[in-house]
């Protein structure tokens, strides 16, 4: 039987994948993918817990997260395109021009 | 109508001060002096009208201008009371200050800070008016501090003069003297403040009438404490021992200042306070404090007169005599004869201001030379001044029918009447000394050989208008005593009456004669010794007593060695502590923040990836904290 714990473990694993991506990747596009992965990990946890408590609020919240993530991607990708046009690269090491 | 007059009398000096201040930085303008003097005369005219009003109606006026402090139970209005006591003070203050203002037009003629001088002088009069007119202790204290500040400004008026050694000039420099006066007064003001707090705590008010009404319900110890602390305040302002050193050093200020502030008005504020608070000081429970006031006053009268005997500085001699006369006033007030103290205060204001202004004329003539051993024979060139100073000295010595005769005699008679024979004897001897030193100074200055020639000085008489301006004071010094009966009748509406016993009454003539014998004896002795010219007596000048007196009993040196210097050393130590501990801690914190900021600056690489890593570290840290607190809490 697949219980809440299993869902949460999957969610945590996917989140870790996303986190490692955020920390290790140098390409901005890949960073985006990684954040999307993390968001979806959270969504899984929301849906699972919502089901567990018989409370729809969590699932509703997951929908909100999806909607916000979609709009965020739309804006984010726009910025990435502009950045790529300007610098010809999306590598973070090349983009570091604010050194303190 | 009368209310307006009160405000005019109070604020005319303020307007005068502000007006003169407008020209404070600009070069000498004669009209500033004229406007200031006119405004002061307006204040005098208003005060005199008010005095007449109070005299004819027999009761005082009381106005409240506005609320000043209203917080919780504390309620202090800006209220002014014009009753028999305050109106006397107002009239004396404005009269003397009007004359001093006019005098200053002549005296400060060559001073480049002419306008500034008038601004300060008028500000002083304003503060003094607040002091005497206020209907509560808080207002009195404001005026008290105000006159202190103005006194500081005026003593240090020639602040640019450099410090010299004590041997060269006992008061070192004007700014030194100004600071001394201010600091000594600060010590006394602390006492006064404590006295006010005690009164407020126990009566719940600072209004005179409320406080005095509540007094009988207070315990003896509270009353004694209040009386003692208030008197400490009075001791500072009126320069009573041991806080007396500042007054003679205050002579560093311009002479009109000495006449107005350090003789006629400000220094009498302490006496005024005791008179104003007479319901407190005349209570049965505080009889000890009152007796102490009388004893201290008597002591100071003698003590100051003894120092005046040998002094060579024209102004300092008069300053010592002021000190001595203040002692007389305190003696009278302490013995319960408040109206006599107030009468002596007024009479003294007239002849002492005259004496000082005369001394100013001499100084002006002698090009700021003050050593009477270098003068002599000045009566030929300075007839007017000679007459004025002679009259004032006669009044000071208590020669019959001059102002000082009536008032001082009454004080001495009071001492006899109270059965305090020791005080009486000291006061009588002091009267003789007073006569001696005032005439020693007159004879050395105006009679005998003309010693100033060898110093290349060509004295000249003061401007005519100055001499004319001084004439009201001379007139009052001569005739003020005849108003004594009326004055008694006038002020005893408010102040407790004081009657001599039958026994004293019978002896009055004999007592008066005793005093007179001493006074005349003093004058005759001074005449014999000095009128013919200065004969220095080397043996006497080398004697221990002479040196002791000439050095003011070595009290200034004592204060310097045992108070000023240890205090400076202590301050040095505290300063070291401050830099090595307090500052070190504060600087340490600042340095830590500087260094940590400098160190963490390296985090800011501009690389988003690094930032994200740091963010993750932060997230993990927060998680750990949350987990830990969940486990522990």
The 3-state secondary structure of B317-364, one letter per residue: HHHHHHHHHHHHHHHHHHCCCHHHHHHHHHHHHHHHHHHHHHHHHHHH
Residues in chain A whose beta carbon is closer than 8 A to a beta carbon of chain B?
19, 22-23, 25-26, 28, 31, 92-93, 95-100
Which one, of B325, B143, B498, B627, lies nearest residue B317 by Cα?
A: B325
CB-CB neighbors (< 8 A) of A33 in chain B: none
Q: Do A92 and B601 touch (CB under 8 A)?
A: no
pLDDT at B455: 82
CB-CB neighbors (< 8 A) of A28 in chain B: 608
Give the confidence band of A99 by pLDDT, cuts at 50, 70, 90: low
pLDDT digits (tens, 9 = 90+) for B78-121: 889 999 999 999 999 999 999 999 999 988 888 888 899 999 99
B268, B486, B505 from B342: Cα distances, Å? 9, 13, 21
pLDDT at B545: 85
Q: What is the ipTM of this complex?
A: 0.82
The residue of chain B with its CA nearest to that of A27 is B609
Asked if B238 and B270 touch (Cβ cutoff 8 Å), the reply is yes
Helix (H, G, I), strand (E, B) or coil at B64: strand
Q: Do B609 and A98 touch (CB under 8 A)?
A: no
pLDDT digits (tens, 9 = 90+) for B184-226: 999 999 999 999 999 999 988 889 988 999 888 888 899 999 9
Q: Do B605 and A31 touch (CB under 8 A)?
A: no
The mean per-residue pLDDT over the stretch A22-39 comes to 90
Q: Do A93 and B605 touch (CB under 8 A)?
A: no
The mean per-residue pLDDT over the stretch A70-94 comes to 89
Q: Do A96 and B616 touch (CB under 8 A)?
A: no
Q: Taking the CA atoms of B554, B556, B560 and B562 in sequence, report the sign of the dihedral they define.
A: positive
Q: Do B609 and A93 touch (CB under 8 A)?
A: yes
Of A19, A23, A93, which is closest to B607 when you measure between CB atoms? A93
Of A19, A96, A100, which is closest to B616 when you measure between CB atoms? A19
Could you tell me what percent of chain B has a pLDDT over 90?
A: 49
Q: Do B607 and A100 touch (CB under 8 A)?
A: no
pLDDT at B493: 85
Residue B402 corresponds to which tokens in the numbers above? 């001059």
pLDDT at A64: 94
- The better pLDDT of the pair B236, B605 is held by B236
CB-CB neighbors (< 8 A) of A96 in chain B: 605-608
Rounded to the nearest angstrom, the gap between the alpha carbon of residue B381 and the centroid of all alpha carbons in its chain is 33
Distance CA B447, CA B445 (A): 6
Q: Do B609 and A26 touch (CB under 8 A)?
A: yes
pLDDT at A8: 94
pLDDT at A100: 54
Of B602, B603, B607, which is closest to A92 when you measure between CB atoms? B607
pLDDT digits (tens, 9 = 90+) for B519-568: 999 999 988 888 877 777 778 888 888 888 888 888 888 988 899 899 99
Report whether pLDDT(A92) > 70: yes
Q: Do B604 and A100 touch (CB under 8 A)?
A: yes
From the CA atom positions of chain B, what is the Rg in Å? 29
Distance CA B446, CA B461 (A): 13
Give the confidence band of B17 by pLDDT, cuts at 50, 70, 90: very high
Of A26, A28, A100, which is closest to B601 when you measure between CB atoms? A100
Checking phi first, is residue B71 left (phi over 0); if not, alpha (psi -120 to 50) or beta? beta
A59 to chain B, minimum CA–CA distance in Å?
25
Q: Do B601 and A31 touch (CB under 8 A)?
A: no
A16 to chain B, minimum CA–CA distance in Å?
11
CB-CB neighbors (< 8 A) of A42 in chain B: none
Residues recorded for chain B = 633
Residue B391 corresponds to which tokens in the numbers above? 């009259």
CB-CB neighbors (< 8 A) of B606 in chain A: 96-100
What's the mean pLDDT when you consider all of chain B?
A: 89
Give pTM, 2 decimals: 0.81
pLDDT at B67: 85
Report whether pLDDT(A98) > 80: no
Q: Do B613 and A92 touch (CB under 8 A)?
A: no
The residue of chain A with its CA nearest to that of B604 is A100
Angle at B601 between CA B599 and CA B605, to 5 degrees: 130
The residue of chain B with its CA nearest to that of A22 is B612
Q: Do B605 and A96 touch (CB under 8 A)?
A: yes
pLDDT at A47: 94
Residues in chain B whose beta carbon is closer than 8 A to a beta carbon of chain A?
601-609, 612-613, 616
Distance CA B86, CA B136 (A): 12
CB pairs under 8 A between A and B: 35
């Amino acid at each position: 039987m697949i219980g809440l714990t299993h869902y949460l473990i999957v969610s945590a694993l996917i989140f870790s994948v996303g986190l490692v991506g955020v920390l290790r990747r140098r390409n901005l596009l890949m960073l985006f993918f990684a954040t999307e992965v993390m968001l979806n990990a959270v969504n899984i946890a929301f849906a699972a817990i919502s089901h567990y408590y018989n409370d729809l609020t969590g699932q509703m919240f997951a929908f909100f997260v999806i909607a916000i993530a979609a709009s965020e991607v739309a804006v984010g990708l726009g910025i990435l395109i502009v950045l790529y046009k300007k610098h010809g690269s999306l590598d973070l090491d090349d983009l570091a021009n604010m050194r303190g | 109508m009368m209310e307006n007059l009160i405000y005019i009398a109070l604020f005319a000096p303020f307007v005068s001060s502000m007006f003169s201040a407008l020209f404070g930085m600009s070069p000498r303008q004669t009209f500033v002096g004229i406007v200031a003097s006119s405004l002061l005369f307006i204040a005098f005219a208003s005060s005199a009208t008010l005095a007449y009003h109070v005299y004819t109606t027999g009761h005082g006026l009381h106005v409240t201008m506005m609320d000043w402090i209203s917080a919780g139970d504390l309620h202090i209005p800006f209220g002014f009371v014009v009753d028999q006591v305050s109106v006397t003070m107002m009239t004396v203050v404005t009269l003397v200050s009007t004359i001093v203002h006019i005098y200053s037009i002549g005296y400060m003629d060559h001073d480049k800070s002419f306008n500034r001088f008038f601004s300060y002088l008028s500000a002083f009069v304003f503060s003094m008016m607040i002091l005497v007119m206020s209907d509560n202790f808080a207002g009195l204290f404001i005026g008290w501090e105000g006159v202190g500040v103005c006194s500081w400004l005026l003593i240090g008026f020639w602040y640019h003069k450099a410090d010299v050694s004590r041997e060269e000039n006992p008061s070192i420099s004007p700014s030194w003297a100004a600071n001394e006066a201010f600091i000594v007064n600060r010590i006394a003001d602390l006492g006064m403040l404590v006295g006010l707090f005690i009164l407020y705590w126990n009566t719940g008010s600072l209004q005179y009438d409320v406080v005095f009404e509540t007094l009988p319900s207070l315990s003896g110890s509270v009353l004694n404490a209040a009386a003692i602390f208030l008197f400490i305040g009075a001791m500072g302002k009126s320069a009573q021992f041991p806080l007396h050193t500042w007054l003679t050093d205050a002579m560093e200020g311009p002479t009109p200042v000495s006449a107005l502030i350090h003789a006629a008005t400000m220094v009498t504020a302490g006496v005024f306070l005791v008179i104003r608070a007479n319901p407190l000081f005349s209570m049965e429970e505080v009889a000890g404090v009152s007796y102490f006031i009388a004893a201290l006053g008597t002591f100071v009268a003698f003590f100051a007169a003894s120092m005046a005997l040998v002094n060579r500085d024209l102004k300092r001699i008069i300053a010592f005599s002021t000190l001595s006369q203040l002692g007389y006033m305190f003696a009278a007030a302490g013995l319960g004869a408040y109206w006599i103290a107030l009468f002596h205060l007024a009479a003294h204001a007239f002849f002492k201001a005259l004496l000082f202004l005369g001394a100013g004329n001499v100084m002006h003539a002698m090009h700021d030379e003050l050593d009477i051993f270098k003068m002599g024979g000045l009566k030929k060139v300075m007839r007017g001044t000679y007459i004025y100073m002679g009259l004032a000295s006669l009044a000071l010595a208590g020669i019959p029918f001059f102002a000082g005769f009536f008032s001082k005699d009454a004080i001495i008679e009071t001492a006899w009447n109270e059965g305090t024979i020791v005080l009486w004897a000291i006061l009588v001897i002091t009267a003789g000394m007073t006569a001696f030193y005032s005439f020693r100074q007159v004879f050395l200055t105006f009679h005998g050989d003309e010693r100033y020639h060898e110093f290349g000085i060509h004295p000249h008489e003061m401007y005519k208008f100055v001499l004319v301006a001084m004439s009201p004071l001379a007139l009052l010094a001569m005739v003020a005593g005849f108003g004594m009966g009326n004055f008694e009748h006038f002020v005893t509406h408010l102040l407790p009456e004081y009657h001599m016993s039958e026994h004293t009454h019978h002896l009055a003539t004999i007592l008066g004669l005793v005093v007179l014998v001493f006074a005349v004896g003093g004058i005759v002795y001074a005449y014999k010794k000095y009128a013919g010219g200065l004969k220095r007596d080397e043996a006497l000048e080398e004697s221990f007593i002479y040196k002791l007196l000439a050095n003011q009993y070595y009290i200034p040196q004592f204060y310097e060695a045992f108070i000023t210097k240890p205090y400076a050393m202590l301050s040095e130590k505290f300063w070291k502590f401050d830099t090595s501990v307090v500052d070190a801690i504060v600087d340490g914190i600042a340095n830590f923040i500087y260094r940590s900021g400098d160190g963490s600056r390296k985090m800011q690489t501009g690389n988003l990836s690094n930032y994200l890593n740091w963010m993750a570290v932060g997230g993990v840290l927060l998680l750990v904290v949350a987990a830990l607190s969940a486990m522990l809490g």
